[in-house]
């Protein structure tokens, strides 16, 4: 069962540092331009901890050591202050839906600690593969700072919406303690909840739940590895009581900071992640079409019209994607029998996913890109913006781009609970959770 805990969070002292100036997007979503902007925004912006610019600020190259030094200095000076009592934090994100003018949604959840479990325990489920390089980077930062600065995005199922009602009621509660609008126009609001009775009701309501990692697979696996490193052989589920009757993890490393969102509530949005292929020797659009024809129906589309192409893709029957090449744009719709035969070694539920058909059949078998090269992104880039993906082909920076439909929440749930994984970057939950709203310090 899922174990959820309140915690004495470190938070920015808003009298010394405005929230708008110090919070960031998750480390892996920070572009070089955003990184520079964050540095200029405040000397206490969290980017100086989670994604430093060593060539400018760390002459000796000791990135993680210097991140830990700054983190300790901010705590010592009072820039970061620790809550006096264990809390959880209600967290709301109001956003305009990309590509749908006038459509606004709100995603609600809460920030707390979640116990770390091996996937084999059947409590926490993943849905994507991970890479070793990002995990090594995050593990080095965790070792140096002994703190979690961003939240792992967790999904749970509760059709009755118990936690949401408990935390947000009818929306007529107190004003938020933090209110920030990010680079994408998303309004983030945070409320502290310290009432032990309410916290106990909330954590108890999730006791029987299974959790799916929506975002943060690398950070979850890093935190789990660190917990095993620091306390080898310790079993999960060993809690100690503390004042107010609130449970805490048996040891600090046994939990990580997470945001929990009900997958049965409104507000969840998964965007497509488009694939851009480059650097293939001897690539020819005509040969690509010849290779895919036995497996996919091919429909020619107007060139250069991204809106029309994505609209047509969204109406396609069955699994499909758009191939953008210098010689034309084509909708590829799967021939089910042929694809099933080609991917007969792949689990049946995954054979129905366009992202699996693209990776396993088109990229690997037909274009000859090895699974290792795909994992290391040797010939592959991932983009949210369909126009940019198509534009890279038009500029000659890519061989072919594949425009995708998003994975559905039902598909994700089915694959995850079956203990299977999809290719990396199969899902793009929007918006992202801001880092710096709360910090879980292990010391």
Do 220 and 321 belong together in one domain? no
State the burial class of residue 76 (Cβ atoms within 10 Å of its Cβ: 0-12, 13-18, 19+): exposed
pLDDT of residue 354: 94
Domain that holds residue 154: 4-10+81-270+430-441
pTM for this model (two decimals): 0.92
Q: Does the structure show a pLDDT above 80 at 433? A: yes
Q: Does the structure show a pLDDT above 70 at 382? A: yes
Q: For residue 266, which phi and psi values (nearest 5 degrees)?
A: -75, 155
Over range 273-302, report the average pLDDT.
Answer: 96
Q: Is residue 106 part of a domain?
A: yes
CA angle, corner 437, sides to 431 and 442, nearest 5? 120
Q: Is the backbone peptide bond immediately before 431 cis, with ω within 30 degrees of 0?
A: yes
pLDDT of residue 60: 56
Report the DSSP pairing between strands 296-301 and 328-334: antiparallel
pLDDT of residue 246: 83
State the burial class of residue 351 (Cβ atoms within 10 Å of its Cβ: 0-12, 13-18, 19+): buried
Do 202 and 288 belong together in one domain? no
Reduced to 3 states, what is the DSSP secondary structure of residue 58? coil
Do 260 and 321 belong together in one domain? no
Please give the structure tokens belonging to residue 165: 């009602």
Please give the structure tokens belonging to residue 19: 């929230």
Q: Does the structure show a pLDDT above 60 at 59? A: no
Counted residue by residue, the chain has a size of 443
Do 110 and 135 belong together in one domain? yes
Q: Is residue 65 part of a domain?
A: no
Instruction: Return the higher-pLDDT residue of 375 and 322.
Output: 322
Q: Where is average pLDDT lowest: 52-66, 135-149, 181-195?
A: 52-66
CA angle, corner 139, sides to 136 and 142, nearest 5? 155
Instruction: Return the beta strands (E) in 311-374 as ranges.
Output: 320-325, 328-334
**CB of 14 within 8 A of CB of 31?**
no
pLDDT of residue 248: 87
**Cα–Cα distance for residue pair 34/313, rounded to 1 Å:** 32
**CB of 4 within 8 A of CB of 208?**
no
Do 147 and 263 belong together in one domain? yes
Over range 229-252, report the average pLDDT.
Answer: 74
**pLDDT band at 242, cuts 50/70/90?**
low
- What does the pLDDT look like over 31-44, one tens digit per residue? 999 999 999 999 99
- What does the pLDDT look like over 102-134, one tens digit per residue? 999 999 999 999 999 999 999 999 998 776 677
Q: Hey, what's the torsion of the CAs at 414, 416, 421, 427, to 10 degrees? A: 80
Q: Is residue 280 part of a domain?
A: yes
Q: For residue 246, which phi and psi values (nearest 5 degrees)?
A: -95, 135
Do 151 and 257 belong together in one domain? yes
Q: Where is average pLDDT lowest: 52-56, 349-353, 409-413, 432-436?
A: 52-56
Q: Is residue 262 part of a domain?
A: yes
Q: Does the structure show a pLDDT above 60 at 58? A: no
Do 161 and 299 belong together in one domain? no
Helices marked H in 125-207 — which ranges? 132-145, 162-168, 196-205
Contacts of 280 (CB under 8 A, 6+ apart): 367, 368, 369, 379, 399
Do 230 and 348 belong together in one domain? no
Over range 229-233, report the average pLDDT.
Answer: 83
Q: Does the structure show a pLDDT above 70 at 314? A: yes
Q: How many CA atoms lie within 13 A of 207 on its CB side?
A: 7
pLDDT of residue 240: 65
**Cα–Cα distance for residue pair 34/23, rounded to 1 Å:** 12
Q: Is residue 29 part of a domain?
A: no
- Residue 355's CATH number: 3.30.1760
Q: Where is average pLDDT lowest: 227-241, 329-343, 384-398, 419-433?
A: 227-241
**pLDDT band at 244, cuts 50/70/90?**
low
Q: What percent of the chain has pLDDT over 70?
A: 95
Q: Does the structure show a pLDDT above 60 at 243? A: no
Do 254 and 318 belong together in one domain? no
Sign of the CA dihedral running 362, 366, 372, 378: negative
Q: How many CA atoms lie within 13 A of 286 on its CB side?
A: 0
**Cα–Cα distance for residue pair 389/402, rounded to 1 Å:** 8
pLDDT of residue 284: 96
Q: What is the mean pLDDT of the chain?
A: 92
**Cα–Cα distance for residue pair 364/311, rounded to 1 Å:** 27
Q: Does the structure show a pLDDT above 90 at 57? A: no
Q: Is residue 312 part of a domain?
A: yes
pLDDT of residue 99: 82
Nearest residue to 162 via CA among 207, 128, 196, 118: 207
Q: Is residue 230 part of a domain?
A: yes
**Cα–Cα distance for residue pair 392/394, rounded to 1 Å:** 5
Instruction: Return the higher-pLDDT residue of 373 and 321.
Output: 321
Do 348 and 261 belong together in one domain? no
**Cα–Cα distance for residue pair 344/340, rounded to 1 Å:** 6
**pLDDT band at 30, cuts 50/70/90?**
very high
Over range 210-238, report the average pLDDT.
Answer: 86
pLDDT of residue 134: 74
Do 87 and 145 belong together in one domain? yes
pLDDT of residue 61: 59
Number of domain units in the chain: 2
Q: Is residue 18 part of a domain?
A: no
**pLDDT band at 373, cuts 50/70/90?**
confident
**CB of 382 within 8 A of CB of 425?**
yes
Produce one character per residue of 120-152: b if its CB has 16 or more CB atoms within 10 Å, e if not.
eeebbbbbbebeeebbebbbebbebbbbbbbbb
**Cα–Cα distance for residue pair 373/107, rounded to 1 Å:** 36
Over range 219-245, report the average pLDDT.
Answer: 78
Helices marked H in 283-401 — which ranges? 285-292, 306-314, 336-342, 348-351, 354-356, 371-375, 386-394
Please give the structure tokens belonging to residue 114: 């979640």
Do 281 and 386 belong together in one domain? yes
In which region does residue 185 sit, left (phi positive, over 0), alpha (psi from -120 to 50) or beta (all else)? left
């Amino acid at each position: 069962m899922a174990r959820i805990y309140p915690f004495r969070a470190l938070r920015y002292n808003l009298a010394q540092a405005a929230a708008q100036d110090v919070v960031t997007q998750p480390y892996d979503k920070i572009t070089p331009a955003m990184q520079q902007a964050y540095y200029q925004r405040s000397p206490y912006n969290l980017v100086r901890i989670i994604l430093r610019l060593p060539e400018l600020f760390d002459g000796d190259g000791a990135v993680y050591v210097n991140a830990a030094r700054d983190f300790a200095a901010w705590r010592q000076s009072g820039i970061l202050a620790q809550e006096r009592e264990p809390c959880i934090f209600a967290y709301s994100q109001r956003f305009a839906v990309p590509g749908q003018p006038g459509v606004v949604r709100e995603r609600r959840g809460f920030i707390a600690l979640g116990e770390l479990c091996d996937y084999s325990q059947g409590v926490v489920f993943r849905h994507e593969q991970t890479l070793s390089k990002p995990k090594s980077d995050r593990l080095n930062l965790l070792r140096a700072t002994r703190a979690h600065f961003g939240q792992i995005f967790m999904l749970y199922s509760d059709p009755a919406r118990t936690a949401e009602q408990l935390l947000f009621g009818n929306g007529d509660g107190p004003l938020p303690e933090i209110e920030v609008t990010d680079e994408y126009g998303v309004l983030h609001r945070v409320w502290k909840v310290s009432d032990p009775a309410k916290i106990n009701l909330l954590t108890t309501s999730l006791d029987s739940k299974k959790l799916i990692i929506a975002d943060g697979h690398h950070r979850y696996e890093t935190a789990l590895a660190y917990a095993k490193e620091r306390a080898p052989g310790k079993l999960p589920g060993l809690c100690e009581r503390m004042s107010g009757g609130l449970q805490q993890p048996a040891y600090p490393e046994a939990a990580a900071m997470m945001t929990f969102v009900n997958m049965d509530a409104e507000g969840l949005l998964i965007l497509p992640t488009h694939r851009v292929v480059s650097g293939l020797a001897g690539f020819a659009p005509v040969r690509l079409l010849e290779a895919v024809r036995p497996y996919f129906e091919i429909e020619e589309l107007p060139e250069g019209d991204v809106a029309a192409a994505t609209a047509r893709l969204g109406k396609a029957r069955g699994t499909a994607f758009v191939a953008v090449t210098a010689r034309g744009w084509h909708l590829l719709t799967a021939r089910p029998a042929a694809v099933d035969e080609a991917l007969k070694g792949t689990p049946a539920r995954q054979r129905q996913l366009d992202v699996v058909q693209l990776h396993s059949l088109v990229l690997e078998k037909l274009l000859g890109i090895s699974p290792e090269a795909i994992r290391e992104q040797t010939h592959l880039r991932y983009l949210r913006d369909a126009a940019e993906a198509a534009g890279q082909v038009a500029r000659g920076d890519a061989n072919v781009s594949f425009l995708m439909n998003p994975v559905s929440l039902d598909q994700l749930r089915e694959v995850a609970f079956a203990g299977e994984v999809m290719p990396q970057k199969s899902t793009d939950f929007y918006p992202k959770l801001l880092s710096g709203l709360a910090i879980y310090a292990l010391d």
